[in-house]
Amino acid sequence: MSVQNQDAELVSGDSIKRVLVVDDSRVQRRILSSSLKRWGYEVLEADSGHAALEICQNEPLDLILSDWMMPGMNGLDFCKQFRQLERDSYGYFILLTSKSEKDEVAHGLDVGADDFLTKPVNASELRARIRAGERIQQMERELTEKNRTVTDALAEIQCLYDTIDRDLIEAKKLQQSLVKERYRDFGAAEVSLLLRPSGHVGGDLVGVFQISDTQIGLFSIDVSGHGITSALMTARLAGFLSGSTPDQNLALVHSKNGGYSARSPALVAEHLNRIVLGEMDTEHYFTLLLAHLDLNTGAVVATQAGHPHPAIQRADGTVEYCGQGGLPVGLVPDATYEDFNIKLSPGDRLFLMSDGITECPGQNDDMLDEDGVVEMLIRNASIRGTRLLEAVMWDLNDYSGGQEFPDDISAILLEFNGPT
């Protein structure tokens, strides 16, 4: 291969274009500059480290060839200062030295030099070292471009995430609006509601509705999973048990006097099961506890569809569970459900909860379970209303060791005072 062809091969890449030669010897600068210019590079010269540093501050440079031993600022100090400059790209630094001791070379590499050439400089060796520098700079340029691509992609993803996050915040407001009142006083009974999704939105829903002057209805729903699709299903189900639109409430039937009366909770569960399997194209199902209370007698009629057993805390503080289990709604075609009865006396209270409470993980990966709920209710027996639900959240947080809850948490506290 001719010298001209070798030169053309050397400058075929575009990583190194501008070279700064630093040496206090004019002869040495001339020798190096002559070879570099012949190979097609743009060459700048400096006769000291201070002059070279000033050039580096004002000119974009790709390669530095600097003598080690120079009066004033030597090549090693110049290299240290060069590495502290803010640059858009990497500058390849080769020290020219007569030093051959390994410790000296290691020290030079440690302060920022990329390579060494022993003086007097051999032209073929200089070419080889520049080729090595070009390969490194080409890799650096490709990596920078890839990083820029990744940064742009991350910025776009962040923009999309921010948009989704804003939408989820609005969705959370809408879902929370499904539970318009967290506390209602019916005189003979007081009802407090708790709804805490594990994310922005969740699959739990609780509610209370007026049936008549002497009856109220309660429902606790837990849709499988938690997130956007579960939240959408809770919004659909809320319409079937809404107190604000009694004509659409499946738990109500028109009475002869023009008002409403309660439909069997078991029949309501069966109706919802047919709707979910027949009309909703979804893989989700949900658990349900639906009940109605007679405010005069304290009689409760309820059905349990895969939901955790309701807890009854008697006036003396003791706790018992009731319910028959049952199948979740929307899971098995033609599933049937049964009603069961509860008798509340003045001072008794009924606690309905989702499995986010009973299955709350502790610090040792165990679950709170029903026994833990009993202990919690007994411990807080003197606390009433929404303050009890706040105490429940505090206790759950302590039990979990402050970690985020993996599931939505919801509950209904019904406190029966007796007829007024």
> Which whole number is the average pLDDT over 28-48?
93
**More reliable by pLDDT, 279 or 382:** 382
104 pLDDT above the threshold of 70: yes
**More reliable by pLDDT, 200 or 108:** 108
5 pLDDT above the threshold of 60: no
Q: What is the 3-state secondary structure (H, E, C) of the chain?
A: CCHHHHHHHHCCCCCCCEEEEECCCHHHHHHHHHHHHHCCCEEEEECCHHHHHHHHHHCCCCEEEEECCCCCCCHHHHHHHHHCCCCCCCCEEEEEECCCCHHHHHHHHHHCCCEEEECCCCHHHHHHHHHHHHHHHHHHHHHHHHHHHHHHHHHHHHHHHHHHHHHHHHHHHHHHHCCCCCEEECCCEEEEEEEECCCCCCCEEEEEEEEECCEEEEEEEEECCCCHHHHHHHHHHHHHCCCCCHHHCCCEEECCCCCEEECCHHHHHHHHHHHHHHHCCCCCCEEEEEEEEECCCCEEEEEEEECCCCEEECCCCCEEECCCCCCCECCCCCCCCCEEEEECCCCCEEEEECHHHHCCECCCCCECHHHHHHHHHHHCCCCCHHHHHHHHHHHHHHHHCCCCCCCCEEEEEEEECCCC
> Which whole number is the average pLDDT over 59-80?
92
Residue 219 near residue 286 (C-beta atoms within 8 A): no
> Which whole number is the average pLDDT over 188-192?
97
Chain position carrying tokens 């309501």 = 268
Give the CA angle between residues 135, 138, 143 to the nearest 5°: 125
Give the predicted TM-score (pTM) of the model.
0.65
302-334 residue pLDDT tens = 999 999 999 999 999 999 999 988 999 999 999
> Which whole number is the average pLDDT over 167-187?
77
Q: What is the pLDDT of residue 279?
A: 86
**More reliable by pLDDT, 247 or 414:** 414
211 pLDDT above the threshold of 70: yes
> Which whole number is the average pLDDT over 372-394?
96
Residue-range domains of the chain with CATH:
3-146 (3.40.50.2300), 178-416 (3.60.40.10)
Residue 272 near residue 239 (C-beta atoms within 8 A): no
Q: What is the pLDDT of residue 144?
A: 84
Distance between CA atoms of residues 216 and 293, nearest Å = 5
**More reliable by pLDDT, 11 or 176:** 176
Q: What is the pLDDT of residue 2?
A: 44
Distance between CA atoms of residues 410 and 292, nearest Å = 18
388-413 residue pLDDT tens = 999 999 999 999 998 889 898 999 99
Q: What is the pLDDT of residue 202?
A: 78
> Which whole number is the average pLDDT over 357-363?
93
133-147 residue pLDDT tens = 888 888 888 888 899
